[in-house]
Amino acid sequence: MKKSLFFGTLAAASALAGFASADTLADIKARGELLCGTNTGLTGFAAPDANGVYQGFDVAVCKAIAAAVLGDATKVRYVPTTGETRFTALASGEVDLLVRNSTWTFTRDTDLKFDFVAVNYYDGQGFMVKKDLGVSSAKELDGATVCIQTGTTTELNLADFFKANNISYTPVNVADDSEAQRQYVAGACDAYTTDASGLAATRATLPDAENHIILPEIISKEPLGPVVRHGDNNWGDIVRWTFYALVAAEELGITSANVNEIGTSTVNPEIRRILGTEGDMGAMMGLDAEWAKRAIAANGNYGEIFAANIGESTPIGLARGLNAQWTQGGLMYAPPFR
Amino acid sequence: MAESNHAFVRTAILPPQAPPLTEKGAIRWLRENLFSGWFNTILTLAALWAIYSLVSASLPWWLNGVWNAGSLGECRAIVAERAGPDATGACWAMVRDRWHQFMFGFYPQDQYWRPTIAFGLLFAAITPVLFSGQKRLRTFMLIGVVAFLVATLWLATVPMLPAGLTIILMLAVLALAQVRPAALMWFTVIYPALAFFLLWGGSFWVPAAAMAGLPVLLLAYRLLLPWTGVGIAAGAGIGLALLWWAVLDAPVAAGLARLAPIGLEPVASDRFGGFLLALTIGVTAISFSLPMGILLALGRQSDMLLIKTLSVGFIEFIRGVPLITLLFTASLLLQYFLPPNTNFDLILRVIILVTFFAAAYIAEVIRGGLAALPRGQYEAANALGLDYWSAQRLIIMPQALKIAIPGIVSTFIGLFKDTTLVAFVGLLDPLKGITQIVRADIAWKGIYWEPYIFVGAIFFVICFGMSRYSMYLEQKLKRDHR
């Protein structure tokens, strides 16, 4: 009797848990702020400035979603998560979504019961070497010492790459990016390998950046994007389409400067639909008509966000590359707003 | 000696001659200590060479330190301009730029006065405990606190009302220290609630109602003590206090808050960081782990099977598990056991598990102290007719704790340094959390030694202070004549 009561309570509690997390949108509106899982600090993508305000490429996605859902881009609570805690934080409901340069992989999508709703940055693992090493391709790195962060997928990619090309290397294990930079500058390793965006940021801060080159080979696919948990498809849709609204805005020429008037001045029906001048797309997701307008007004379109945080005018200086619009030879391709 | 007329006998004593040059002063010291044989000479020369190469390599770095710059690149440019293109130099400008984050994390900047006041009052609260019976020291300490508070309140442009209240409170404490030093303990008792109110803000009545559990406990204990034994009276008191906290506390606090809404702007836990976080976790865990450790040590020696088993099980389990595991438990596992959307504060979870961890170690240290007491002390206590708790309070514990002081303090020092491990669960400890944030800023990316040295220096000052205090305490309590 006691036992059955206990299990009954447990079942009721877990059923309650299922219901309680089923309507993320209502939870967020009741709470009045969006809980966004973010990085404890990654240059250009998510880091607090001297005033404690989070800035960065990933943070901009959180802000756009808060603007779309709550009408205020500042109503976000950023929950810093480490590589170990990020997925538990999302699964347990501690955060509403995770925008923490997490790679979309099969097991994360299926086994961990998450949905990667979009890709906001196509990254890939690369190598940085000193110019006087005389190497122009990663395939010439036979016998090199390579600085590699332990416990990451980059470690496995590195082993695969060298095995596939039948060349050897000596790993120098480091704990994090700053230590890797230190070891690399001190000459403890010939090459440093991590995501290409991280390499670019590291190279930009070296005292003699011109003496270091990033090799052309990209040895892995790292599609990074916002993640939500299973069980609330509408919330996944909101995150996905808010992001695609930013991408489509760049394609259609909606910018933070013209977002307030272009909705009425243009004849392009897709722009009018996105900005809520025509149709009722917001209502289909439980939002109001001007959700996308606010999301774009928060930080500008995808291209503006890219340029402001990691683009070529910033010290990090990343080229658009794969992250250009599909019309420009990149992979950024928003499905039609129809 | 008698008078002598012989010419060959001296009549006056010669003045002593100076010792030979090699047998006095610095040269003698050098000969005896550094060059007393061929082996020591070689060692000395090798050590000198090592020191020289260390200093010559790092001295320019220290001397070229830059304090005013906007980024690491600017630092490098200034060093290169000042000392040539290949010179190295420390970039302390980072510390200057992010000082407030190292100290307070993301605490709202216009509320910095609150942790500062809490920090000052902390010393007022620990003074009666640390310097009991030392009137002069205590007064000096309290005057120091008043000076610190006046200076910071003046510098930090604090609103008039809290500043005035704080100064009045401190003056009252200072006066009390002169008139009735024993009553100072009351300030120590209310300090946790006061610090909680200052740090987290919110309604004044929440900590006030929580503190009201203590009079309930004390009253029940006092009333029942003549009728029942210490154990039952304390048990009933604790039971009633728990009842108060579980049932009445929240409605009373809510009701009072409606009647008289007094409070400070609430600050969420996730805005805590830097040394504010390290000190909050460290001080709370230290002050709660000591009594808990004493009880566990006594429980382990108890004849009652249940109490003994529970104590041994607790101590051995907690000591057998690394602190990181406990922190991950606090951060990840508990989330799965709690109902969804319960927001059980992460810092609170971490504090509880860190306290457990320290208590298990303290229990073993105190058990060492208890084991070192001669059997005769226990028998003497029994012969005087003291009951268990009086014997522990008056005879056993004072001696056992005195023996255990070095062990206790080194456990505390270790605990305080271990607070940096909370970085692994995403809290912003000063060493890794804040440093990572600072490095993530493109302006300071690539900076390596400076944050470590800066944070390490502050940790050293605090830990060294604790260590010196423990030596002072050992001196003060020295009763034997060894």
CB spacing of A43 vs B97 below 8 angstroms: no
What are the DSSP calls for A247-299, one per residue? HHHHHHT--TTTHHHHHHH---HHHHHHTTSSS-HHHHTT--TTHHHHHHHHH
What are the DSSP calls for A67-81, one per residue? HHHHS-TT-EEEEEE
Of A176, A50, A203, nearest to B95 (Cα)?
A50
Q: pLDDT > 70: what percent of chain A?
A: 93
pLDDT at B343: 65
Q: Which helix (H) or strand (E) holds A208?
A: none
Q: Does A41 touch chain B (CB under 8 A)?
A: yes
Q: Which helix (H) or strand (E) holds A94?
A: none
Q: Given its phi and psi angles, is residue A24 left (phi above 0), alpha (psi -120 to 50 degrees) or beta?
A: alpha
Q: Does B370 touch chain A (CB under 8 A)?
A: no
Structure tokens at B28: 């003698």
Suggest the residue from B61, B439, B449 to mutate for an interface test with chain A (most A CBs closer than 10 A): B439
pLDDT at A19: 41
pLDDT at B182: 76
Q: Given its phi and psi angles, is residue B446 left (phi above 0), alpha (psi -120 to 50 degrees) or beta?
A: left
CB spacing of B73 vs A205 below 8 angstroms: yes
CB spacing of B97 vs A50 below 8 angstroms: yes
Measured between beta carbons, the chain A residues lying within 8 angstroms of B423 are 40, 82
Q: Which residue of B has its CA nearest to A52?
A: B106
Asked whether the predicted pLDDT for residue A266 surpasses 80, the reply is yes
Q: What is the domain partition of chain B in residue ranges?
A: 21-59, 100-107+267-482, 111-183, 202-264
CB spacing of A40 vs B268 below 8 angstroms: no
CB spacing of B101 vs A46 below 8 angstroms: no
pLDDT tens-place string over residues A77-108:
998 888 778 898 899 888 999 999 888 989 89
CB spacing of B340 vs A39 below 8 angstroms: no
Q: Which residue of A has its CA nearest to B104?
A: A52
Q: Does A42 touch chain B (CB under 8 A)?
A: yes
CB spacing of B440 vs A80 below 8 angstroms: no
Q: Does B331 touch chain A (CB under 8 A)?
A: yes
Contact residues, A window 164-183, toward B, CB-based 8 Å cutoff: 176-179, 181-182
Could you list the pLDDT tens digit for every one of the 482 residues in chain B? 556 678 888 888 888 888 887 777 888 888 888 888 899 999 999 999 999 999 998 998 898 889 998 888 899 899 999 888 888 889 999 998 888 899 998 898 888 888 888 888 888 888 888 877 777 888 888 888 888 888 877 776 777 777 788 888 888 887 877 777 777 788 888 888 889 998 988 888 888 888 887 888 888 888 887 777 777 788 888 888 888 887 777 788 788 877 777 788 888 888 899 999 999 999 999 999 999 999 999 999 888 899 999 999 999 999 999 999 998 888 777 767 776 656 678 888 899 899 999 999 999 999 999 999 998 998 999 899 888 888 998 999 988 988 899 999 999 999 999 999 998 887 889 998 899 889 888 889 888 899 999 999 999 999 999 999 899 888 888 776 55
Q: Which residue of B has its CA nearest to A78?
A: B270
Contact residues, A window 59-98, toward B, CB-based 8 Å cutoff: 77, 79-82, 84-85, 88-89, 92-94
pLDDT at B3: 60
CB spacing of B428 vs A21 below 8 angstroms: no
pLDDT tens-place string over residues A237-260:
999 999 999 999 999 999 999 999
Over residues A204-230, mean pLDDT: 90
Contact residues, A window 213-242, toward B, CB-based 8 Å cutoff: none
Of A238, A236, A240, A220, nearest to A228 (Cα)?
A236
Domain A24-122+224-252+294-328 shares a fold with domain A125-220: yes
Measured between beta carbons, the chain A residues lying within 8 angstroms of B105 are 52
Q: Does A317 touch chain B (CB under 8 A)?
A: no
pLDDT at B2: 57
Structure tokens at B210: 């929580």
CB spacing of B341 vs A21 below 8 angstroms: yes
Q: What is the domain partition of chain A in residue ranges?
A: 24-122+224-252+294-328, 125-220
Measured between beta carbons, the chain B residues lying within 8 angstroms of A21 are 340-341
Asked whether the predicted pLDDT for residue A10 surpasses 60, the reply is no
Which residues, at least 6 apart from A16, have a Cβ–Cβ distance to it below 8 Å? B339, B340
- Terminal Cα-to-Cα distance of chain A (whole angstroms): 57
pLDDT band at A114 (very low <50, low <70, confident <90, very high): very high
Asked whether the predicted pLDDT for residue A1 surpasses 70, the reply is no
CB spacing of B445 vs A48 below 8 angstroms: no
pLDDT at B10: 82
Contact residues, A window 145-164, toward B, CB-based 8 Å cutoff: none
- The CATH number for A24-122+224-252+294-328, chosen from 3.40.190.10, 3.30.70.360, 1.20.1270.30, 3.30.505.50, is 3.40.190.10
pLDDT tens-place string over residues A117-126:
999 999 999 9
What phi and psi, each to the nearest 5 degrees, are found at residue A22? -80, -25
Suggest the residue from B341, B434, B452 to mutate for an interface test with chain A (most A CBs closer than 10 A): B341
Task: Give the separation between CA A243 and CA A224, rounded to whole angstroms.
Answer: 13
CB spacing of A50 vs B446 below 8 angstroms: no
Of A333, A326, A330, A300, nearest to A318 (Cα)?
A330
* Dihedral over alpha carbons B369, B316, B393, B396 (to 10 degrees): -30
Task: Give the separation between CA A36 and CA A14, rounded to whole angstroms.
Answer: 24
Task: Give the separation between CA A154 and CA A140, rounded to whole angstroms.
Answer: 19
Structure tokens at B469: 């205090």
Q: Which residue has the tokens 């205090």?
A: B469
CB spacing of B268 vs A77 below 8 angstroms: yes
pLDDT at A16: 41
CB spacing of B426 vs A27 below 8 angstroms: no
Give the three-state DSSP class for A103: strand
CB spacing of B73 vs A20 below 8 angstroms: no
CB spacing of A17 vs B426 below 8 angstroms: no
pTM over 0.90: no
Contact residues, B window 412-441, toward A, CB-based 8 Å cutoff: 423-426, 428, 433, 435-441
List beta partners, residue A127. Answer: A193
What phi and psi, each to the nearest 5 degrees, are found at residue A172? -115, 105
Q: Determine the topology of domain A125-220 in CATH.
A: D-Maltodextrin-Binding Protein; domain 2 (3.40.190)
Which residues, at least 6 apart from A52, have a Cβ–Cβ distance to it below 8 Å? B101, B105, B106, B109, B271
pLDDT at A9: 43
Nearest to B433 among A40, A47, A178 (CB): A40
pLDDT at B480: 66
What phi and psi, each to the nearest 5 degrees, are found at residue B4? -130, 140
CB spacing of B73 vs A93 below 8 angstroms: no
pLDDT at B256: 81
Structure ipTM over 0.90, yes or no: no
Asked whether the predicted pLDDT for residue A210 surpasses 90, the reply is no
CA A67 to chain centre: 18
Task: Choose the weakest-confidence range: A16-20, A90-94, A266-270.
Answer: A16-20
Q: Does A204 touch chain B (CB under 8 A)?
A: yes
Q: Determine the topology of domain B100-107+267-482 in CATH.
A: MetI-like fold (1.10.3720)
**Which residue type occupies B464?**
F
pLDDT at A308: 94
How many interface pairs between A and B have CB atoms less than 8 angstroms apart?
A: 110
Task: Give the separation between CA B335 and CA B331, rounded to whole angstroms.
Answer: 7
Nearest to B335 among A51, A94, A201 (CB): A94
CB spacing of B424 vs A81 below 8 angstroms: no
pLDDT tens-place string over residues A297-319:
999 999 999 999 999 998 888 89
Asked whether the predicted pLDDT for residue A20 surpasses 50, the reply is no
